[in-house]
Chain A
């Protein structure tokens, strides 16, 4: 008979250690997608600050300095900013102080990556993993997404907060724990604070909560969640209202609710542009809507809601005939369309329910093809959008040869970028824009706008004048004509630039050493 006489305690068991990759396999497709999104954004999109970026970051720094005991900002940003100046601009400003424009833009990129993560997770939760991969890959390839991820403005943060709220709404609607709904309200309020236009998405997000939880959990659980979300939102609103600068209401009215179009376009043009930016996704999302109708009709209303939500921004732009910012606002719209689009692509690739293990069916190539089409288009679009504004590196360089910290006033047509670029060598009081200019003469006469500009030129009030005849051409011409007339200025530099409208020039004028002896004597010296 067999004897096992050893005491077990005297034995030593040694198992060989196996090295394993620590990344969850279900998430590393997402990591790859995020990597290509970040890589393409960071490497292909390069330009100096856009005027909005320059304005917000400059404002953010001023506000932050003020909070830290510095001087009061001279500009009333809350009066006209389309987001609350004390929120994103300060975040952007601090990042700008630490790492410059690139770091501020990186924050936007992180926000957009976050949005994509929400799309992946929500689509996976709501539909299926393959649909999530396609949704995420397609969103990462969109021109508007790549663009917003490289723009240090309100948009990325606002969209991230909306996405987070929507993601939580999805989650809380499928969970038996309702308390997460309390987060939806504050996130929406923060999104509104980041950019007032987020008001538009309050109802879609709450709609997701309502429809999704109703279908998944029943009506009373839906009511509970909705109530929690609304209560939290109201409390947040009250708290915010208490602390906020009330001037912001003027901005909400002017920039969002009753906006006057800056660049008016026909509705057909705008519709065509919407299709150009997101047509593929809309077609796919519509396909997804049809599929939901065919296969899972109980979710149809919810799908209809998110599909409809994806049209809110385009509809508003088309209604207002406003062309400005439509490119970046499309990122908001398409966020809502992505789950349906991913679902349709998954169906197209016959992946739904099968997994991609069955690679011998080659339809997955079709899904990839669609994503590649979007990618090629998106990369081209984002580069085009990014080249819409002129590179101001040369302008900044030349200004650095002329400006003195705390000495001399500067009149700049492109004040936002000029001031931002020269922030390190000037004080805020030195800068004057060509719009809303106010001037008091030596005889205490108060002048405004063109009259003020003419008189100031006459008085050699400005040490440096920058004109491009591009941003505010009417005022620029008035100023130039006055300089010609008075001969008080020397034209010292002509810097060529190129933007989406073509080639132009920045002109730098310096106060002549002797009044009336400047070299800028003819308008023909500048190209208008």
Chain B
């Protein structure tokens, strides 16, 4: 914060006095031409309501305080008493010529809606002085201070001066009570906290006493609620500096205060509205809330990630896209919306107003040509930048500041151009050859921006150019790749598609060439064009008087304005009536109308040549030749008053053949016109100015001024074409030049319904393609004194534009044909390869189009253009087959009949697309990449067709509504927006996109973030077998995978028990089966996983990485960690066995084979445990399972790392089966303190099996160290068949099953007995 101070009172007094004096003199002289807004020094807005007693003293104080200033006092009175009369009396009684009082009394009711707020806004809107003050009428604001507010505002040149109660020297003691003071301070702080960016340093943002610069209110719409107008001003207006002046808020002497609880509520509502409506208001909170929202979503995802990871693995991506879209919309609309540009760069010649303007521009051009040896620059920015450039200090030791062109050596002057052309061509060739893909795009963008962007850059131009280069480069890259990938075997499909893509690419490049920023066309010096006679031709056929009347009124107004400026001018308005020859019913009413409006009407009696013939006939009749200037207006085109003022001056250039202006639709309530206008806008606002830069702006038939001499040269307007204007332009352009003005100088009627639109498009296509057929030599073949290269390019683009109908049809059909026939247009290629080349092409094309066309056109224009493809194809066929088609005027009346026949073709293709998608879902054997690409294109076609059908539906609905209202006439009388002036800054959405990505990035990263320790809830609950107090050993099963789900329930039923532990073998590359584990948990059982580090390959060969060094060296660490995390998250006891049978050479991870050595076993064992410990997976009991645990000394890990030891009895038939008692007894000797897992699997004669199992049961019963007993179902083999499974099963025979039943019962009994203690135990015995 800075405080301005100074001793300049005298100076400012002089300044103000001098200013006032000058204005006062003007006021006294009563000069009608003087701008009244400059007369008053100050406007004082005073809202009043029942303040009759305060008016007199107030005015007296004001008069005293503002003595010497020319002041306008505006009372906006909402009183129910006689305050108004008091004001009127005071006004009459006032004897000062310096104080001008105005009174606006608002009647009770609607007029007073909004109360004080609207009263002040109304008063400010009436104010005429440069500064406006707002003061209450209740004398609580000292009027004497107003003088000081004004003086400070002028002295310090600030935007706003406010009287503050809360700075040193001020006070709020005048507030009626302590409560009110408290509320006032509270509200003040609330406002400051809510809107810190604007208000934090303002001491009294709710003051009602302030003064502001009137220009602050320009382009601002104030919508206050309640009393806090200053708050509204501070938040909605773009102020730069504020001065605060202390004041004492006085107590009220007369009348009653209007402050009450309701006003407090209104103030809160006001703040809420501002927060909502003003993007910059409370922006920090808005961003904070958005940040918080994104953070909370990310947190929610992190927390739910574990639960949803299996079912929705990409949930974070989906949520990211959704939230990012929301973020973007909020940022782009409500927080950082794009501001409007000044539109200066678009307005160069288009802003010409008068002859003097052109002279001025020409003068400037000459100056710059002389001074810089450079081309004309008309825009202010360029001028500024050049002058700055000249002033820029060069580096002191800069080797060279400027090349001096060597006189007389033209080679040197031309060399850069030659080398530059070669370099560009070489680069293009190199791109085609190398096809670098998306990298090229990045290089173009980064390096291009680096090269072009400097301190003095015209940003908009630079961005447009860099994007254009990016489009050019990526188009070359894509096309070269596309040719290479074309499937020439399926030529009948691929060649048309290739042609269509080429056509598309040519027009994409053409668009970039056309919209490339160009210098403004120069205007030569010649005779004063206002001396030339002007003939305004309005050809009409059947439009009728209702349409023609506003047209005539418009052009008459334009004529009058022109003649007012150039009284010596000669303007003849001619209605060229073709109604008679066209046998129009209403042809005579046109003549009557012309007579009524006092304009000439020539009714043709001899037909031929359509519109061109009509105009030529009138020209002939009136001898409008030679120097004459011909203005052509279609019957529905209503001229703006400036039309002639702007279009005639450029004809001072003797080579100027015609000046074309835009054709804009002003019946935008009609949906078809609205969408068609978007399409038109692209042409008139973007392409035409570009074409004009190439001197290729052709005559568009209406809203144009043509030099008659030019037409004379070619024998008049060609009458053999439906686009006679276009044909004439091609013939004229080698010798005549043209310019295009982007101003809205006339508006007309757009097509009223879809059939009219399609008919119009078809007619234009017919004419343009017909002209291409007849004039292709002028466009394509070299000719001395013919068209220049830039003109040829532009005419070629214009002529071939209407081939886009065929192109779009091919786009629709090709993917469908591929899906049906399986013949790809592109040879086998990877999707990534396609995307690598196509995406840059597609994206840059779209981005460049968006940037260039932003605010001018949109998707509507593209959709309606796409929808015209049947009409365009029809016209193409007509041209090819040389069918004769008559000229038909676009209807200016709605057709009463309902014709929906045109919709059939769109519906057909839409259904075809659906059928293709269905077909694609059934296709299996085709190339998947091509299929995917085709499906993508079919979806695109459906979107476009669907959009067009939607528009047609809107059109039908619109007409149905109109029919109901029985409205017949249509007028082009609506406001048409000046699109080029109202364009928004282009890069804001890009920054918002970046900000969106930043805000939503935690959501995208939620998967990664969820693995952070902070979100991982520490370690699991430790599981220590040794601390378990078992009544009896557990009984469980181990099974191969194929029996895992089916066998346990069967055996549980057979044995009439529930298994306590279920074991299975899994590969480390599998996942921990959480669902299975949860199911076991629900059955009060625990999982036992035997984890292996791979699976055997052919010939029982183990993979190299299954061996022990691989485990020790950490090759499996990621998988082990994944398992550990999953088991930890399960958080229930899990038994885990690794390195099973590591003491045998058959083992997968052997300590005696496959590169393993016995010493590796404990290392690997402990390595795995270390990984588990590192993630906190303590809920694991480690079961050591060698083949021979009794003799495992060479292999065994340290005892402290073993929780239990497994003894397996695998009894093969025909072998000697070990005695379980002996074995287990020896095992207890080896591991006296370790709980034992005992597993059996037996195949043999039933009696032998049953007998052994009986022994097994006894052994378990006798040896207390046994922790759990298992039967291994399915046998030890790796590839099991059904008979093996059956023979090794526990239920292989009734005897064995019976034994096991007994074992289970014994274990249960034991458990029950022990649970009742020693006494019970003895009873049981």
Determine if A8 is an interface residue (Cβ-Cβ < 8 Å). yes
The docked-state distance in angstroms from the alpha carbon of A380 to that of B439 is 11
Q: Are B403 and A4 in contact (CB under 8 A)?
A: no
Determine if B469 is an interface residue (Cβ-Cβ < 8 Å). yes
Contact of A124 among B197, B386, B395, B450 (CB under 8 A): B395
User: Nearest Cβ distance between residue A514 and chain B, in whole angstroms?
Assistant: 12
User: Nearest Cβ distance between residue A110 and chain B, in whole angstroms?
Assistant: 19
Q: Are A10 and B167 in contact (CB under 8 A)?
A: yes
Q: Are A353 and B241 in contact (CB under 8 A)?
A: no
Instruction: Pick from B201, B245, B386, B1113 the residue with the most CB of A within 10 Å.
Output: B1113
Q: Are A299 and B399 in contact (CB under 8 A)?
A: yes
Determine if B1100 is an interface residue (Cβ-Cβ < 8 Å). no
Q: Are A401 and B419 in contact (CB under 8 A)?
A: no
Residue on A nearest B1114 in the bound complex, by CB: A400
Known contacts A353-B400, A365-B420: A372-B473 contact under CB 8 Å:
yes
Residue on A nearest B419 in the bound complex, by CB: A348
- Interface residues of B toward A: which range? 35 or more
Q: Are B1104 and A493 in contact (CB under 8 A)?
A: yes
Q: Are B396 and A35 in contact (CB under 8 A)?
A: no
Determine if A20 is an interface residue (Cβ-Cβ < 8 Å). no
Known contacts A2-B17, A367-B451, A376-B434: A356-B457 contact under CB 8 Å:
yes
Chain A hits for B734, CB < 8 A: none
Determine if B447 is an interface residue (Cβ-Cβ < 8 Å). yes
Determine if A265 is an interface residue (Cβ-Cβ < 8 Å). no
User: Nearest Cβ distance between residue B149 and chain A, in whole angstroms?
Assistant: 9
Contact of B402 among A343, A354, A371 (CB under 8 A): A354
Interface string of A7-38 (1 = CB under 8 A from B): 11111111111000000011011101101100
Instruction: Pick from B9, B16, B155, B156 the residue with the most CB of A within 10 Å.
Output: B9
Determine if B187 is an interface residue (Cβ-Cβ < 8 Å). no
Chain A hits for B462, CB < 8 A: 359
Determine if A482 is an interface residue (Cβ-Cβ < 8 Å). no
Q: Are B152 and A14 in contact (CB under 8 A)?
A: no
Contact of A11 among B9, B68, B244 (CB under 8 A): B244
The docked-state distance in angstroms from the alpha carbon of A291 to that of B168 is 69
Determine if A510 is an interface residue (Cβ-Cβ < 8 Å). yes
Contact of B454 among A9, A347, A355 (CB under 8 A): A355
Determine if B243 is an interface residue (Cβ-Cβ < 8 Å). yes
Determine if A402 is an interface residue (Cβ-Cβ < 8 Å). yes
The docked-state distance in angstroms from the alpha carbon of A49 to that of B201 is 59
Q: Are B202 and A14 in contact (CB under 8 A)?
A: yes
Q: Are A4 and B152 in contact (CB under 8 A)?
A: yes
Determine if B1008 is an interface residue (Cβ-Cβ < 8 Å). no
Contact of B450 among A30, A291, A360 (CB under 8 A): A30
Contact of A370 among B155, B404, B427 (CB under 8 A): B427
Q: Are B427 and A492 in contact (CB under 8 A)?
A: no
The docked-state distance in angstroms from the alpha carbon of A488 to that of B147 is 110
User: Nearest Cβ distance between residue B129 and chain A, in whole angstroms?
Assistant: 16
Chain B hits for A425, CB < 8 A: 1112-1114
The docked-state distance in angstroms from the alpha carbon of A361 to that of B68 is 58
Chain A hits for B455, CB < 8 A: 25-26
Q: Are A36 and B446 in contact (CB under 8 A)?
A: yes
The docked-state distance in angstroms from the alpha carbon of A200 to that of B461 is 47
Q: Are A1 and B244 in contact (CB under 8 A)?
A: no
User: Nearest Cβ distance between residue B1034 and chain A, in whole angstroms?
Assistant: 37
Chain A hits for B1105, CB < 8 A: 397, 400-401
Q: Are A371 and B386 in contact (CB under 8 A)?
A: no
Determine if A39 is an interface residue (Cβ-Cβ < 8 Å). yes
Q: Are A353 and B423 in contact (CB under 8 A)?
A: no
Instruction: Pick from B374, B423, B519, B1115 the residue with the most CB of A within 10 Å.
Output: B423
Known contacts A372-B431, A510-B1155: A13-B423 contact under CB 8 Å:
no
Chain B hits for A367, CB < 8 A: 423, 451
Q: Are B451 and A14 in contact (CB under 8 A)?
A: no
Interface string of A366-403 (1 = CB under 8 A from B): 11111111011101100000000000000001101111
Determine if A271 is an interface residue (Cβ-Cβ < 8 Å). no
Determine if B191 is an interface residue (Cβ-Cβ < 8 Å). no
Determine if B108 is an interface residue (Cβ-Cβ < 8 Å). no
Q: Are A4 and B9 in contact (CB under 8 A)?
A: yes
Chain A hits for B431, CB < 8 A: 372, 376
The docked-state distance in angstroms from the alpha carbon of A456 to that of B518 is 79
Residue on A nearest B16 in the bound complex, by CB: A2
Determine if A137 is an interface residue (Cβ-Cβ < 8 Å). yes
Contact of A355 among B17, B416, B456, B1110 (CB under 8 A): B456
The docked-state distance in angstroms from the alpha carbon of A36 to that of B473 is 17
Binds B, one of A127-135, A243-251, A438-446: A127-135
Q: Are A13 and B427 in contact (CB under 8 A)?
A: no
Chain B hits for A400, CB < 8 A: 1105, 1109-1110, 1113-1115
Q: Are B397 and A125 in contact (CB under 8 A)?
A: yes
User: Nearest Cβ distance between residue A12 and chain B, in whole angstroms?
Assistant: 4
Q: Which of A418-441 contact B (CB under 8 A)?
A: 424-425
Chain A hits for B428, CB < 8 A: 369
User: Nearest Cβ distance between residue B884 and chain A, in whole angstroms?
Assistant: 46
Determine if A470 is an interface residue (Cβ-Cβ < 8 Å). no
Q: Are A360 and B389 in contact (CB under 8 A)?
A: no
Known contacts A14-B242, A370-B423: A352-B450 contact under CB 8 Å:
no
Chain B hits for A36, CB < 8 A: 442-443, 446-447
Chain B hits for A376, CB < 8 A: 430-431, 434, 436, 440, 443
The docked-state distance in angstroms from the alpha carbon of A368 to that of B244 is 54
Q: Are A372 and B3 in contact (CB under 8 A)?
A: no
Determine if A6 is an interface residue (Cβ-Cβ < 8 Å). yes
Residue on A nearest B158 in the bound complex, by CB: A13
User: Nearest Cβ distance between residue B534 and chain A, in whole angstroms?
Assistant: 34
Residue on A nearest B148 in the bound complex, by CB: A6
Q: Are A33 and B398 in contact (CB under 8 A)?
A: no
Residue on B nearest A370 in the bound complex, by CB: B423
Residue on A nearest B242 in the bound complex, by CB: A14
Determine if A296 is an interface residue (Cβ-Cβ < 8 Å). yes
Chain B hits for A373, CB < 8 A: 423, 426-427, 430
Determine if B448 is an interface residue (Cβ-Cβ < 8 Å). yes
Determine if A307 is an interface residue (Cβ-Cβ < 8 Å). no
Q: Are B434 and A16 in contact (CB under 8 A)?
A: no
Chain B hits for A26, CB < 8 A: 455
Chain A hits for B242, CB < 8 A: 13-14, 16
Q: Are B450 and A32 in contact (CB under 8 A)?
A: yes
Q: Are A16 and B241 in contact (CB under 8 A)?
A: yes
User: Nearest Cβ distance between residue B160 and chain A, in whole angstroms?
Assistant: 9
Determine if B776 is an interface residue (Cβ-Cβ < 8 Å). no
User: Nearest Cβ distance between residue B92 and chain A, in whole angstroms?
Assistant: 28
Residue on B nearest A137 in the bound complex, by CB: B447
Residue on A nearest B431 in the bound complex, by CB: A376
Q: Are A398 and B1104 in contact (CB under 8 A)?
A: yes
Contact of B456 among A4, A357, A424 (CB under 8 A): A357
Q: Are A368 and B448 in contact (CB under 8 A)?
A: yes
Q: Are B203 and A12 in contact (CB under 8 A)?
A: yes
Q: Which of B2-37 contact A (CB under 8 A)?
A: 2-6, 9, 12-13, 16-17
Q: Are B518 and A360 in contact (CB under 8 A)?
A: yes
User: Nearest Cβ distance between residue A509 and chain B, in whole angstroms?
Assistant: 12
Known contacts A6-B245, A39-B442, A352-B402: A366-B423 contact under CB 8 Å:
yes
Q: Which of B236-262 contact A (CB under 8 A)?
A: 239-246
Determine if A258 is an interface residue (Cβ-Cβ < 8 Å). no
Q: Are A347 and B447 in contact (CB under 8 A)?
A: no
Q: Are A295 and B404 in contact (CB under 8 A)?
A: yes
Determine if A315 is an interface residue (Cβ-Cβ < 8 Å). no
Determine if A80 is an interface residue (Cβ-Cβ < 8 Å). no
Of all A-B residue pairs in the complex, the 7 with the closest CB atoms, nearest first, are A353-B402, A366-B420, A369-B427, A29-B450, A8-B5, A36-B446, A12-B244
For this complex, 18 residue pairs linking A to B, each with C-beta atoms less than 8 Å apart, are A2-B16, A29-B454, A30-B450, A133-B450, A134-B451, A348-B423, A349-B420, A359-B461, A361-B374, A365-B424, A368-B444, A372-B443, A375-B447, A376-B443, A400-B1114, A401-B1104, A401-B1115, A492-B1104
- Extra pairs beyond A372-B430, A372-B444, A400-B1105 (12, CB < 8 Å): A2-B12, A13-B158, A16-B239, A26-B455, A29-B451, A355-B454, A357-B454, A367-B423, A376-B440, A380-B436, A400-B1114, A402-B1107
